[in-house]
Structure 1
Amino acid sequence: MADPAASLPQSGNPADRPRHVAIIMDGNGRWAVNKGWPRLVGHRRGAERVKEIVRACPDMGVNWLTLYAFSTENWKRTTEEVLGLMAIFARYIEREADGMSAEGVRMRFIGGRERLDGRLQRLMDSIETRTMMNTRLNLTVAINYGGRDEIARASRRMAERIARGEIVEPTEADFANCLDTAGHPDPDLVIRTSGETRTSNFLPFQAAYSEYEFTQTLWPDFSPAHLAEILDRYGMRNRRFGSA
């Protein structure tokens, strides 16, 4: 298969590129509706786009990629759409397991799993175990994820550790280690597609100092070339972290 990033613009200094990119993949349903198709067609096309972006990231210097696939609020959608999305997630894991293993992708999931279908949970567990030794790209997918929900769950974990005497004087690092993303670096860059300019409860603790990029492009149209352009713009930003 041809390398999707082979002909893309690259910044001159790899150090100017973000190590960890997080993406709010928005606009699948609108993309389909605009074409007169059912919303699930857009979600299926969005899953295909994920494969392209995942394959392109390592050659762009991105070592960590976190994707917002399904929020705690998305359960409000129609039963047909929710069930369709869950089926798409399951098919993606099944079909991409071999490819991710071969390409050195480690796949993990964040979010509350208890509400998900049992078969989907087993597939998630299986691919996490199968790819746990891979290091070329760390792919994290947020399913049934909400930042406030994660913080609430992390607070309960921290309280339990304090009660057991494992934590004596709680620190910010202790709290971070109670989050779903424990051990993950914070995202350097958060991208949202589709023209919306809100963060939608995505990684509120982790993205406190992230750079943001909002693009009008709907997720099914968001290509590796779009990502490369955004990464190049990121390289021109001056990240001071409050120092000046």
Structure 2
Amino acid sequence: MNNYKLVIQYDGGRYKGWQRLGNGELTIQGKIESVLSELEGKPVEIIGAGRTDAGVHALEQIATFKSQKDVKESEIKKHLNRYLPQDISIVDVIKVHDRFHARYNAVNKTYVYKIWNEEYTHPFMRKYSMHVKEKLDVQKMKEAATHFVGEHDFTAFSNAKSKKKSMVRTIHSLELIHNDGFLEVRIRGNGFLYNMVRKIVGTLIEVGQGKVNAGSIPKALQAKERSPGLMAEAQGLYLKTIEFE
């Protein structure tokens, strides 16, 4: 049995997320499996390193699949890019060790969130960033970001759909970079709960708007109670990189 790793980029705007939901659902996993199954001659299942939500993009998603056929990586890549829609690209195909697993071997992930912080809209990035008209206090947001770094129970910053046994995650870094009207939030951690990044970014935006005090974040983490605060829009979020053992 041959084990292949796929390096994937996609515009998630018209999809219902990564995870296959059913035969009629428009998902990234479903699209790739459909094209791979044609090449294999039978149903193929791919396993992604993470599950992005509806509307979320990926600069580097990793997935693996197994095949009884010994097909050249270049042939798989050529076939996928020929038949996949143009909003999904296979950047690379690599034959890997039998025991390599896209999900279980992933140790860290980095997400980037793009905020367009000007009064006017950005015609070319309106589908790929969140527009916040009010000028944000970036310094206050940076101070608030420090409260998320480290190991915490992130129940307060997750969606009720999160089904994980443990809500504890470790955030290694959370940076804010301001450049030409864009504010980028870069967050790296060992794992993320459902909607966790978007809720953290939403909280940072409210801190920047003066609606939330940065000092309330440690209390919220300790209370472990979900609040109805702002959740940043899906189109501004990108899965940037995945690190493996």
Q: TM-score, normalised by structure 2?
A: 0.23
The structure where strand makes up a greater share of residues is: 2
Q: TM-score, normalised by structure 1?
A: 0.23
Which fold has the larger relative contact order, with Cα–Cα distance below 8 Å and residues 6 or more apart in sequence?
Answer: 1
